[in-house]
């Protein structure tokens, strides 16, 4: 039986449960939106462009990524900002959409702000966020009459490509067709644990093309089963890259807990919020909260998944403490949950060159913890 907000329509406002005033939470949401999408040069990551377009800038790398663009669209649909959503989607389709070659139907993962491409390869975390943001937009605002604003058709087309591409020798799918696990990139056979979003796949299984829905049901189960394999049984930490059996893949040094892997904790929290969670995932969340309970953000580091620290400091300590707080949704009764949420609440959004990734994770965590990260279904149109 399905549980969580999907079944009940009730979203848990953990911040309010923990004693933070409703008006203060609402004010924080509006202030954080303004931080990201406003005009301040010290804090903004969103920029408007000609032709009714806009983009999110990775301020640390000075490029535009499908990660950030899809995040921006998800933020905009949650905040009921169709104007921003449409600007981002127009830019994405104008500059990132790949019309030919082995990756046709996907999106170039990195471009310069002028739209020129740094790569003609995709990154699947962008595609999965694009797809759900488009479906939510369709349900919340309705489809436009013309491409690319026919949101739901664009989403179904993208999801179909993600799992069927390569069947005619025309490239590679983004999910392994045998084990139903998402790949790090289409032409490789390993994964990134932070890409695993079973709570998204539950919804794809309802709203994708009818012939694709069984695949997404299987992918939901496969990813929920995969995360306990990838997360360490004591610390709960996941590597950035992992093999299909869950063991770390240290290709180019990515077999440890670092930036990408921070998202796993938040994903566990949102899955619990939307679909009631999984006892195995609650245990992972509690281990993560326990591991970081005695660590100060200014001393966060790269770690082995067993918890052994490297000298290298975290590039994104605000993002890490934010995702740890979101994990409290999966383990709200943990002895460490309230402290993690308090640390998040007392920490401001980041300024400076590295602010993009930290503040995206911060805003998503705030949406989750305030009960404002909603499932927008057809009945709400």
Residues 6+ apart with CB under 8 A from 270: 199, 326, 329, 368, 373
Task: Write the DSSP assignment of 20-52 as a string of letters.
Answer: --HHHHHHHHHHHHHHHHSS-TTT--EEEETTT
Asked whether the beta carbons of 218 and 180 are under 8 A apart, the reply is yes
143 belongs to the catalytic site: no
Helices (H), ranges, the chain? 5-8, 14-17, 22-37, 66-78, 82-91, 124-141, 151-164, 198-207, 213-230, 263-275, 279-292, 317-327, 337-346, 355-369
Q: Would you call 27 exposed, middle or buried from its count of C-beta atoms within 10 A (0-12, 13-18, 19+)?
A: exposed
Which of the following is catalytic: 67, 192, 202, 278?
Answer: 67
Cβ count within 10 A of residue 7: 12
SS3 371: coil
Neighbouring residues of 98: CB distance < 8 A, sequence distance ≥ 6 = 104, 105, 106, 107, 108, 120, 122
Distance CA 306, CA 234 (A): 7
d(CA 63, CA 46): 12
Contact 195, 182 (CB under 8 A): yes
Q: Give helix 82-91 / helix 124-141 axis angle, nearest 10°.
A: 140
218 is catalytic: no
Q: Which one from 260, 271, 278, 358 is the annotated catalytic residue?
A: 260
By annotation, the residues acting in catalysis are 67, 260
């Amino acid at each position: 039986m399905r549980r969580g907000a999907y079944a009940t329509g009730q979203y848990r406002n953990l911040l309010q449960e923990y004693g933070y005033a409703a008006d203060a939470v609402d004010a924080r949401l509006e202030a954080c939106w303004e931080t990201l999408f406003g005009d301040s040069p010290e804090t903004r990551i969103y920029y408007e462009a000609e032709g009714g377009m806009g983009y999110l800038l990775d301020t640390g790398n000075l490029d535009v990524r499908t990660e950030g663009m899809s995040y921006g669209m998800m933020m905009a649909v949650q905040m009921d900002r169709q104007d921003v959503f449409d600007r981002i989607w127009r830019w994405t389709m104008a500059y990132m959409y790949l019309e030919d070659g082995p990756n046709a139907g996907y999106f170039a993962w990195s471009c310069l702000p002028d739209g020129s491409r740094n790569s003609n390869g995709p990154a699947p975390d962008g595609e999965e966020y694009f797809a759900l943001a488009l479906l939510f937009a369709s349900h919340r605002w309705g489809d436009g009459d013309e491409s690319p604003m026919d949101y739901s058709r664009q989403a179904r087309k993208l999801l179909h490509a993600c799992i069927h591409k390569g069947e005619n020798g025309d490239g590679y799918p983004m999910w392994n067709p045998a084990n139903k696990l998402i790949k790090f990139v289409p032409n490789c056979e390993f994964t990134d644990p932070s890409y695993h979003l079973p709570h998204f796949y539950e919804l794809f299984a309802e709203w994708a093309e009818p012939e694709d829905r069984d695949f997404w049901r299987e992918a939901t189960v496969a990813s929920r089963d995969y995360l306990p394999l990838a997360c360490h049984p004591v610390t709960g930490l996941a590597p950035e890259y992992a093999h299909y059996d869950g063991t770390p893949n240290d290709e180019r040094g990515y077999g440890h807990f670092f930036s990408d892997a921070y998202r796993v904790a938040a994903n566990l929290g949102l899955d619990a919020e939307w679909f009631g969670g999984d006892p195995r995932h609650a245990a992972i969340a509690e281990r993560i909260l326990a591991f970081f309970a005695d660590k100060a953000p200014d001393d966060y580091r790269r770690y082995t998944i067993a918890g052994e620290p490297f000298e290298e400091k975290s590039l994104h300590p605000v993002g890490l403490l934010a995702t740890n707080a979101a994990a409290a949704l999966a383990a709200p009764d943990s002895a460490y949950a309230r402290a993690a949420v308090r640390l998040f609440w007392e920490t401001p959004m980041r300024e400076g060159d590295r602010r993009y990734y930290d503040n995206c994770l911060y805003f998503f965590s705030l949406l989750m913890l305030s009960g404002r990260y909603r499932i927008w279904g057809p009945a709400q149109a």
